[in-house]
């Protein structure tokens, strides 16, 4: 029925997973999250997960709008404190909130805390706006990414506070026209593109803008990471007007990323296949580094990084140096200076 609205409470039992499966008859669906949704306090309390991996799951719900001020609490510490605990008899360590094929998604004003794994994942969605949200987890909580994005386009994340134990925002393969604006990030692993090319896969990322963000106390700052032997490309990427405070690896492009270890170097022969990285700009990036090596462009050699530009970049703190291999571009008014070989 056209222009008919129904207002009814949706009851979500705290101990159970829940799936919202479209398509829906209405072109828009509005949800107001008023209370707190809390996960079980014990591992035995989990009654299963959607597809073994998700706690709250939306699929094929078009025009979905979720507004706060409610909170989703994943009670993640019961998973984190058991080292290596990735699953129970009921489910794997779950992502708290997942959106699949939800075009026109809008999410605002919600709070997300202490989830077992990813706080939010967005996959196969177009025309998404996420703003004015808060995501909190301890800096040492494993794999607690704030927002993970894959196979999606025309997506905006803005005016939000994300403090986790992993990537604040992770932009994965199959993404186009992604904008991250006025986001506070830290602690965590920074704002990342990738990892791309896992398990020899083909991944593409294009037209990404990260601007007017503050990154504080993170293990990485602005990062592009690809895995050896993958294929595809990452291009048309702009990092602009970023303030960095005591950040390890403030600027890094790494084609030797190991998916099983955050700090390991994965060697590959010079002719090994690789995700091609090109047309990346860093402009008006200022702040302090927690590590001596402030800028890293570590290209494998199969495809040189091309059209890499730094302009008005100043990172200070520990007599910083840069490392640059197999990279072509322009490095203007940049500290520490970049010399490539």
Dist. CA 51–CA 74, nearest whole Å: 17
**DSSP 3-state of 223:** strand
Reply yes or no on whether 154 is catalytic: no
244 close to 289: Cβ distance less than 8 angstroms: yes
In the block, tokens 């592009």 appear at: 224
**Sequence-distant (≥ 6) Cβ neighbours of residue 217 within 8 angstroms:** 139, 186, 187, 245, 246, 247, 290
Helix, strand, or coil here: 112? strand
The β-bridge partners of 277 are: 234
Structure-token pair, residue 53? 């991996």
Q: Contact 331/317 with Cβ under 8 angstroms?
A: no
Could you give the 3-state DSSP secondary structure of residue 80? Answer: helix
Of 147, 140, 148, 223, residue with least CA distance to 187: 140
Which residues contact residue 7 at a Cβ distance below 8 angstroms, ignoring those fewer than 6 apart?
Answer: none
Whose CA is closest to 308, among 210, 236, 213, 214?
Answer: 236
Neighbours of 165 (CB within 10 A): 20
User: Residues 58, 64: contact at Cβ < 8 Å?
Assistant: yes
Terminal alpha carbon distance of the chain: 66
Active-site position among 98, 112, 158, 189:
189
Measured at the CA of 146, the angle between CA 34 and CA 208, to 5 degrees, comes to 115
3-class DSSP state for residue 281?
strand
Could you list the active site residues?
A: 189
């Amino acid at each position: 029925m056209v222009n008919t609205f129904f207002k009814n409470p949706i009851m979500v039992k705290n101990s159970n997973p829940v799936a919202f499966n479209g398509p829906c008859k209405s072109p828009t669906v509005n949800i107001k999250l008023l209370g707190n949704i809390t996960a079980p306090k014990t591992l035995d309390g989990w009654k299963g997960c959607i597809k073994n991996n998700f706690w709250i799951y939306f699929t094929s719900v078009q025009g979905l709008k979720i507004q706060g001020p409610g909170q989703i609490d994943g009670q993640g510490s019961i998973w984190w404190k058991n080292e290596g605990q990735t699953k129970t008899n009921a489910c794997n360590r779950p992502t708290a909130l997942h959106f699949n094929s939800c075009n026109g998604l809008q999410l605002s004003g919600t709070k997300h805390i202490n989830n077992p794994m990813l706080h939010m994942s967005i996959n196969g969605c177009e025309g998404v706006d996420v703003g004015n949200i808060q995501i909190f987890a301890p800096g040492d909580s494993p794999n607690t990414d704030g927002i993970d994005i894959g196979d999606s386009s025309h997506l905006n994340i803005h005016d939000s506070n994300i403090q986790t134990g992993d990537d604040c925002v992770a932009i994965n393969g199959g993404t186009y026209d992604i904008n991250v604006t006025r986001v506070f990030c830290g602690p965590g692993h920074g704002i990342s593109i990738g990892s791309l090319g896992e398990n020899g896969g083909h991944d593409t990322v294009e037209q990404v803008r990260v601007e007017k963000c503050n990154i504080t106390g993170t293990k990485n700052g602005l990062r592009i990471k690809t895995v050896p032997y993958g294929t595809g490309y990452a291009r048309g990427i702009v990092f602009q007007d970023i303030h960095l405070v005591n950040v390890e690896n403030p600027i890094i492009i790494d084609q030797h990323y190991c998916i099983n270890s955050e700090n390991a170097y994965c060697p590959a022969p010079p002719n090994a296949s690789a995700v091609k990285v090109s047309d990346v700009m860093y402009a008006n990036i200022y702040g302090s580094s927690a590590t001596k090596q402030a800028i890293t462009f570590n290209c494998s050699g199969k495809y040189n990084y091309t059209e890499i530009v730094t302009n008005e970049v100043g990172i200070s703190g520990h007599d910083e140096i840069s490392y640059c291999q197999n990279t072509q571009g322009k490095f203007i008014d940049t500290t520490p200076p970049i010399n490539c070989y």
